[in-house]
Amino acid sequence: MTTTAAWRAADPAVPGQAAPGAPRRRELAAFLRSRRERITPADVGLPPGLRRRTPGLRREEVAQLAGVGVTWYTWLEQGRRINASVQVLDAIARTLRLDAAERAHLYRLADVPEVPRPAGCAGLEPAVRTILDHLDPLPACVYNGRYDLLAWNSSYAALFPTLVSARPAERNAIWHVFTCTLCHECVQSPETEYPWMVATLRAAFAGHVGEPAWEEFVAALRAASPAFDRMWREHQVAGPGSRTKTFRHPVAGLVRTSTTSMALSGAPEARMVVYTPLDQDSRDKMAWLRDQAGTVAR
């Protein structure tokens, strides 16, 4: 059963508002705590010690390893209003063993000016829709950073009919996979795909902390899906990239694909995703679904 969305899909023509400082600092504090707690003293060459009351490293241990003051780091992790330079954030990132996506997430939450922040998704150029048409018979679409479905071709509509047929205000991929039973069962390997989707959403969220549309969307999805809420609280972040995905279509059965994600220069937060069949059986099923659907690109 599909849960009614308590949010509205973002208007791609309206840029996001500037995020207030306090919500962003709270998000930064929670992220730092989650990264600190996953590292053990042994990971960084420290003795375990006795009567350790916190998982992972202590705040003073992070400060010592990063070469910053204990009070300063404590304030940073408490979400207080303090300034952090690129050099200091680099030291903290190295200490917490952040990967590239996590490091970029840290900079964006800290509002470091040297790190460019993503702009809102502008209206899609007509050429983008032309490209989608010409990619047929390969399913292809455009998502924004929040997984709102902005455009698609006929092969995509044939492969994902439930999402495409949703009301425009609820046409969001991550909302559907977590709240719609049919969409949830469509994705194979949910134990890896769903955490990855949440991690990419979390990374995009860093550029919109405090914006009502994003805050309401995340709050509504956390309320609608305990699984999403659990993954969201883990503060994992990831960047977009190519993936191998298998879908179970309700009529055609298993369809195996390789997905390629490409940034669009005219809309910095939008990405075109193309699904390439991995075998002849999947290629034949895609062609059959498209012929049966007879839909057009949007």
Residue 168 located in a structural domain: yes
State the total domains in the chain.
Answer: 2
List phi, psi (to 5°) of 258: -115, 125
- Tell me the residue range of the domain where 84 lies: 21-110
Domain shared by 79 and 156, yes or no: no
- CATH number, position 101: 1.10.260.40
Domain shared by 218 and 174, yes or no: yes
Q: Are 65 and 35 in contact (CB under 8 A)?
A: no
Return the structure tokens found at 175. Answer: 């909302």
Domain shared by 149 and 273, yes or no: yes
Q: Choose among 123, 41, 111, 101: nearest CA to 76.
A: 111
* pLDDT tens-digit readout, 159-179: 888 888 887 778 899 999 999
Domain shared by 135 and 81, yes or no: no
Residue 261 located in a structural domain: yes
pTM score, whole prediction:
0.72
Last residue of a domain, one of 75, 110, 145: 110
- CATH number, position 162: 3.30.450.180
Domain shared by 277 and 139, yes or no: yes
pLDDT band at 5 (very low <50, low <70, confident <90, very high): low
Residue recorded with tokens 């999805």:
221
* pLDDT tens-digit readout, 123-143: 678 889 899 999 988 999 999
Q: Are 213 and 22 in contact (CB under 8 A)?
A: no
Q: Are 88 and 68 in contact (CB under 8 A)?
A: yes
CA gap 39, 57 in Å, rounded: 6
Residue 235 located in a structural domain: yes
Domain shared by 229 and 138, yes or no: yes
Domain shared by 134 and 273, yes or no: yes
Residue 266 located in a structural domain: yes
Average pLDDT of the segment spanning 267-274: 88
